[in-house]
Amino acid sequence: MRRAAEFWRRALGYVPRDGAVDEGWTVLIPAEGQGPLIALGRSTSPVGDKPRVHLDLYVEDRAEREAEAARLTGLGAERVA
């Protein structure tokens, strides 16, 4: 949970809503201003063959997409086909 919260902190500038990361469930909020909240919950189900999280991030064009993909993989994300 701490690793996921740290990733989203670095990727989007979010921080734990309650000031600390709980190991089972954490809600992240934008550090600056308003925006959507991200809830992270630890799953108890077995890991499957496909990723269990899907999140679309939108950008303006291909160059920005590639730059953002490089930035996020630099933070620990993995590209999937």
Range of the domain at 28: 2-43+50-74
Stated as kind and residue range, the H or E segment containing 49 is: none
Question: Is residue 79 in a domain?
Answer: no
Give pLDDT, residue 53: 66
Stated as kind and residue range, the H or E segment containing 40 is: strand 38-41
Task: Dig out the tokens for 28 from the structure.
Answer: 């992240």
Domain count, the chain: 1
Question: Is residue 81 in a domain?
Answer: no
DSSP symbol at 46: P
**Do the strands 25-30 and 38-41 form a parallel or antiparallel pair, or are they unpaired?**
antiparallel
What's the one-letter identity of residue 43? Answer: S
Question: What CA–CA distance (Å, rounded) separates 20 from 36?
Answer: 18
Indicate if the pLDDT at residue 6 is higher than 80: yes
Give pLDDT, residue 81: 66
Residues 68, 59: contact at Cβ < 8 Å? yes
Give pLDDT, residue 57: 74
Q: Each residue of 21-78: pLDDT tens digit? A: 988 889 999 998 888 888 888 877 787 776 566 667 778 899 998 998 899 999 998 8
